[in-house]
Structure 1
Amino acid sequence: MARPISIENAEHYNWGDNCDGWHLVQSEQLSVIQERVPSGACEMAHKHEFAEQFFFILSGQASLKVEAETHILNPQQGLHVPAGAVHQLCNYGQDDLVFIVTSTPPSHSDRVNQ
């Protein structure tokens, strides 16, 4: 049965340097995760062989490098990352970065660190 989901009742995990993630949707074809990245933290540059992703900023400011181009994303802005594109998300701002990342198919099994 469907039920409303939030970070209060979603499956939580830690990643990277003191970052948080909450699985809002986990199915065979779709992953929706809310993540929190503290000031100064970055994820490792990587790509996904099959998954395409959409990053949507809720609060804070993201620096999202896709291939050779760096994009600055503010609240209520998003960016699509195609499958196979090397990307890296960083929080160079003063505040926590909170965003939603949607992946189809789910990206956890096809990550290739660079």
Structure 2
Amino acid sequence: MKISKQNAEHYVWGDGCDGWYLHKGDETIIHERMPPGTSEERHLHERAAQFFFILTGQVVMETDGEWLELGPQEGLRIAPGTPHCIHNRSHDAAEFLVISKPGTKGDRIPREELKPD
């Protein structure tokens, strides 16, 4: 079966952000959309490695205290155990793919005490 945002399982996260499960299994592939000015809660995954690939817009990814800007057709791998969060500080929505292996269900650990200043 063909999969798209129109027929994928949808969820809302954060402050008005959207996600669509393109694949669920031993790995997950998610298409996410972040409105301007939104961010994710800082967290880590003990087992899952993740790869973020930007489709449209600009984001800033914080990984273990380092900041990196990502634009269209750019990506970043996050190793298991690495605190991270994504921010859309631009004036436009950003859309990206998040590929996680293994899937992140039950593997997300908030790390509020590690938030950088």
In the superposition, the TM-score normalised over structure 1's length comes to 0.96
In the alignment, structure 1 residue 72 sits paired with structure 2 residue 69: yes
Give the letter aligned to residue 63 of structure 2.
V
> In structure 2, how many angstroms separate the alpha carbons of the residues matched to 1:38 and 1:71?
19
In the alignment, structure 1 residue 48 sits paired with structure 2 residue 42: no
In the alignment, structure 1 residue 97 sits paired with structure 2 residue 66: no
Q: How many pairs does the alignment contain? A: 111
- Match of residue 114 from structure 2: none
**Unaligned stretches of 5+ residues in structure 2:** 112-117
C-alpha RMSD of the superposition: 0.5
- Match of residue 34 from structure 1: 31
From 11, 29, 50, the counterpart of 1:13: 11
1:19-69 per-position Cα deviation (integer Å, ceiling 9, x unaligned): 000000001x11000000000000000000000000000000010000011
Please state whether the residue corresponding to 1:20 is helix, strand or coil: strand
Q: CA deviation at 1:73?
A: 0.3
Give the letter aligned to residue 101 of structure 1.
V
- Aligned sequence identity (%): 44
> In structure 1, how many angstroms separate the alpha carbons of the residues matched to 2:37 and 2:9?
25
1:54-93 per-position Cα deviation (integer Å, ceiling 9, x unaligned): 0000000010000011110000000000000000100001
Q: CA deviation at 1:4?
A: 1.1
In the superposition, the TM-score normalised over structure 2's length comes to 0.93
Please state whether the residue corresponding to 1:109 is helix, strand or coil: coil
Q: CA deviation at 1:108?
A: 2.6
Give the letter aligned to residue 47 of structure 1.
L
> In structure 2, how many angstroms separate the alpha carbons of the residues matched to 1:32 and 1:109?
16
Spell out structure 1 runs of 4+ moving beyond 6 A: none
